[in-house]
Structure 1
Amino acid sequence: MWSLVLLLSSVLAPVDAASLLFTDATIISYDFSTNHTQILRDSSLLVQGDRIVELYNGTTPSSYPNDTTVVNATGKIISPGFINTHHHLWQTGYKTLASNTTLAQYFQRYGEFGPSIQHMTAEDKYLAQIAGALELVNTGTTTILDHASGDSSEETEDSILQATLESGVRIFHAFSVHDLGTATNWTVDLQIQKLRSLATDPRLTNNSLVNLGLSFDAFPSAPKSQIEELWSIVRDNDLSLVTTHHLAGPYLNDNSPTLLDSLGWLNTSTPVIFSHSSFISSSDIHVLRQRNQYISATPESEMHYGHGNMYSHLIQDQASLGVDTHFTFSADMVQQARLWLQNLRLRLYEKVLKDLQVPWNNPMTTEQAFHLITRAGALALRRDDLGVIVPGAKADLAIFNADTPNLLGAEYDPVAAIILHSNTGDVEDVVVGGEFVKREGKILYEGYGEVKRRFRESARKIQRVWSEMEWENYWEDSLFLGVTEYGTAEEIDTQRG
């Protein structure tokens, strides 16, 4: 543990204070008796160590610990840091390569089974991981469930984990066990050995920020003995969580709640997060509620790639939100909540409009959207100390400047102000575990300039290599995963001719 503390202190440049006192702010707290946000105005918040210890409703305390740094937060909105429950941080170097792609093309070009195995070095993945984590924290995201599928060798896994540890962000490192075929010597057996090793790694045991989990996508096809071995590792080492991709429908990928429940993975204290669940069934919905497990919907991803999310809103009471692949679009969790909210409003309005009726009510509130990126994320992770601003919770905070042109006058409803009016430029400060990681609009990671320089070189190389590759037309004379027919989406042109 001490070695990790020294490591983190060497790469971060936090404000050096044992206590932080934010005064005269608008604070978005939480009332557990009503399960709703509670707005505290002209109020103060005291942080000691990595936790919130006191809220002062409408007042500023006259006394506080001697080692306290006082931060005048007049005109600021203090929100819980945002929780992202599905992400692949290692892919940052692909940025803008897949701006007009599909999920089928993603599998061919950008996923864990594609050319990254041969063409991305451990250094590339280290830089992508650290750049991605800092990109997210810049937006106010303080907790990330990283489906860490970039491991194609022990060296690449080590580099990804090292960047994760150095980032200063709260990350659930869900190590991927996946059959990469003959493209690498990184066999499933070696991966399982590595998982066992990580479970006792002193850098991770009792780590307050980085927690080890498992990501696994082969529940329908893996040998029973392999699934049982993985569960024994999860159970015996008390891993923080399990996550799996679940699409179903034409995409097949059916790591479903119903299947995992039949395997005995859901009725335990271990959280299991199902990513996307685009074609979730009635049986799956029942199981999630029965076992109190959650999905992670990724609105922009599901629009961009064509996963769809036709049914996932039916389990919103057991849902959280994620970004998925920030190399293709925004890493901003507020944007994900906004897209989810407005898309769902439109779809439910259209049910009324198709009967030529006029909707009299709004289907979903801004507070519900805010819930999905704060408290709901914590519930998915089974961490009551995250996603809320209350005494005893972790001091993970996103602090918005409410004096910007787009937030000016929006103090009446600070939740709506964030969800519908804010942008990343309004996020002035970010605190993770009681430490500033962004201050006055600047990332505090020591050596960030050098990281950016090295990452640009890595990204240029990756983008050049991928742009020079010749790709087969996978949709011609073949089926998706050998089963589903490809279809042609209507293409829209904004110009004549």
Structure 2
Amino acid sequence: MQPGRPILFRNGTVLSMDSAIGVIEGGDVLVRGQQIEQVGRDLPAPDDAEVIDATGGILMPGMIDTHRHMWQTAMRGFGADWTLTQYFVFYYLNWGKIFRPEDIYAGNLLSAIESLDAGVTTTVDWSHGLRTPEHGDAAVEALRTVPGRFVLAYGNLLGAPWEWSNSPEFRSFVDRNSWDDMLGLQMAFDVTGDAAFPEKGAFEAARELDLRVTTHAGVWGATTDDSIALMWDNGFMTPKVTYVHASTLSPDSYHRIAASGGSVSIATESEQSAGQGYPTSWQLRKYGIPASLSMDTSVWWSGDLFSAMRATLSADRSREHLEAQNAGETVVHNSLRAEQVVEWATMGGARTLGLEDVIGSLTPGKKADVVLIKNDRSPVMFPILHPYGHVVFQAGRGDVHTVLVNGKVVKHQHELVGIDLAKARSAVTATVEFARREMGGQEWNACMNPEIPATDVIANPYTYTDYKGQGVAVRSDS
């Protein structure tokens, strides 16, 4: 496809995620330059337009992941059997300190490419592996290399946020980089609940620099209602704060988040598996708290928002049934619908980032972050009867046909465009080899395969103690 020419998607099912436009069957989307120019039916094609046949496919805004530790993608799948405690021990206590700037670069590069391939056009890099500004420079370099939309949430898991956020080195890092709607900047740190509230200095730095804050909140055994109370009492709960997980908070804390205009990033695959608490959506709906979706880390789980939508809708409905059945009742109408989960994956993410006027819907005048889900080789991609349900329960990353970011084609006909996957593979291979050498083979294997604790098996009272297993003779009168 020739760059610079208008692009017309023709005859798809358009999920605009704009209430004024709605769903358009047999709809078209015209992109010119960096913007969506028109959305409708039978749009006239400019003479120089590239026309993409969207027949049998779904057109939707690019998805938005509001919390992913992208640097950890270089260790993809390593912690598949971890608990949250084992994750903390690995990164926070033992091995987080070994990762070099080039390892941050490698993980970010692969994760950024993976995002685009799966139709995630905007990703928040919850980058808490930045022990030095040089690590931060490497993260920025990787994100600038890939033609996606990213937000670097700067963090340092081994440093005190009130110290690094006010250091001359961090301020220099902020000043020497350019930040825009293709690469934004936030601050990422957690509030421990210490009554002295040492994190106050970090919040003050964020306020001085006019940066949003993203923080892990309501994580079982780590961040509690005390953290929320400290933020509230000191005036740091604002619409510019994202609360990640928020799974184990009290009603009072949820009320404070709602009242302050904050939002929650739900990472259902993570919450189900690691134990931060039950996935949060069923609570957020009670309090009217805005939500977005995220994948957390590929050191455990996928980087796939199709999976996030599916897991979130299933977990919410599972909890709704469980609550009703515990009360002796039956759910006869689902409260959370597929459309709402798709909204969380698109406009919900845009609102969380303060970019709702820029991205998140197929609205004329917004930046052209567009995804075509279409796969003529798949028996799963027809018929499309309930398009929101199809996105959540039927489609997958392998069905992502075309992806535009800022009007630029970065994937077409299921192939990445202008992206050097071999470079990412080489960088990640070097990181894996380095980490294995530093840890040693025995420690590497022990971390990847944590010990399974012994458990008691419940005795079965129906065990056949005398049954020998002989066949029963069948009498024949013939």
* Residue 141 of structure 2 is aligned to residue 172 of structure 1: no
* Residue 7 of structure 2 is aligned to residue 20 of structure 1: yes
Instruction: State whether residues 276 and 312 of structure 1, in contact with CA within 8 Å, keep that contact through their aligned partners in structure 2.
Output: no
Number of the residue aligned with 2:97: 117
Number of the residue aligned with 1:437: 410
SS of the counterpart of 2:170?
Answer: helix
Number of the residue aligned with 1:411: 384
SS of the counterpart of 1:70?
Answer: strand
Q: Distance in 2 between matches of 1:280 and 1:462?
A: 36
SS of the counterpart of 1:383?
Answer: coil
Instruction: State whether residues 191 and 223 of structure 2, in contact with CA within 8 Å, keep that contact through their aligned partners in structure 1.
Output: no
Matches within 5 A, 1:330-345: 330-345=302-317
Give the total of aligned pairs. 449
Q: Distance in 2 between matches of 1:259 and 1:190?
A: 19
SS of the counterpart of 2:167?
Answer: helix
Matches within 5 A, 1:250-289: 250-252=221-223, 256-267=227-238, 271-289=240-258
Q: Distance in 2 between matches of 1:369 and 1:427?
A: 18
Q: Distance in 1 between matches of 2:71 and 2:457?
A: 32
Q: Distance in 2 between matches of 1:302 and 1:321?
A: 12
Number of the residue aligned with 2:172: 197
Structure with bigger gyration radius:
2
SS of the counterpart of 2:221?
Answer: helix
Matches within 5 A, 1:297-336: 297-309=266-278, 313-316=282-285, 317=288, 318-336=290-308
Instruction: State whether residues 23 and 73 of structure 1, in contact with CA within 8 Å, keep that contact through their aligned partners in structure 2.
Output: yes
SS of the counterpart of 2:86?
Answer: helix
* Residue 23 of structure 2 is aligned to residue 39 of structure 1: yes
1:52 shift after superposition: 1.0
Instruction: State whether residues 296 and 322 of structure 1, in contact with CA within 8 Å, keep that contact through their aligned partners in structure 2.
Output: yes
SS of the counterpart of 1:30?
Answer: coil
Instruction: State whether residues 131 and 158 of structure 2, in contact with CA within 8 Å, keep that contact through their aligned partners in structure 1.
Output: no
Q: Deviations over 1:318-362 (max 9, x none)?
A: 221110011211110111111111122122112333455543222
Counterpart selection for 1:378 from 350, 357, 361: 350
* Residue 48 of structure 2 is aligned to residue 74 of structure 1: no
| Aligned-partner residue type, residue 110 of structure 2 | A
SS of the counterpart of 2:134?
Answer: helix
Number of the residue aligned with 1:485: none
Q: Distance in 1 between matches of 2:184 and 2:52?
A: 30
Instruction: State whether residues 402 and 409 of structure 2, in contact with CA within 8 Å, keep that contact through their aligned partners in structure 1.
Output: yes
Number of the residue aligned with 2:464: none
1:195 shift after superposition: 3.2
Q: Distance in 2 between matches of 1:322 and 1:19?
A: 32
Instruction: Label 1:249 to 1:125 Cα distance change in 2 as closer, same or farther (>3 A).
Output: closer
1:149 shift after superposition: 0.6
1:314 shift after superposition: 1.2
Number of the residue aligned with 2:66: 85
Counterpart selection for 1:59 from 34, 42, 48: 42
Q: Deviations over 1:400-446 (max 9, x none)?
A: 11534343323222211110001111011111111111121122244
Q: Deviations over 1:371-392 (max 9, x none)?
A: 2211111122222122111112
* Residue 209 of structure 2 is aligned to residue 234 of structure 1: no
- CA-atom RMSD in angstroms: 3.0
| Aligned-partner residue type, residue 13 of structure 2 | T
Q: TM-score, normalised by structure 1?
A: 0.82
Q: Deviations over 1:103-151 (max 9, x none)?
A: 0000011x35541312x22212211110011112211111111111111
Number of the residue aligned with 1:128: 107
Q: Distance in 1 between matches of 2:430 and 2:413?
A: 28
Q: Distance in 2 between matches of 1:77 and 1:311?
A: 28
Instruction: State whether residues 97 and 463 of structure 1, in contact with CA within 8 Å, keep that contact through their aligned partners in structure 2.
Output: no
Instruction: Label 1:256 to 1:48 Cα distance change in 2 as closer, same or farther (>3 A).
Output: farther
Instruction: Label 1:180 to 1:451 Cα distance change in 2 as closer, same or farther (>3 A).
Output: same
* Residue 322 of structure 2 is aligned to residue 350 of structure 1: yes
Identity of aligned residues (%): 25
* Residue 81 of structure 2 is aligned to residue 108 of structure 1: no
| Aligned-partner residue type, residue 411 of structure 1 | I
SS of the counterpart of 2:13?
Answer: strand
Q: Distance in 2 between matches of 1:217 and 1:310?
A: 19
Q: TM-score, normalised by structure 2?
A: 0.85
Q: Distance in 2 between matches of 1:175 and 1:194?
A: 13
1:364 shift after superposition: 2.1
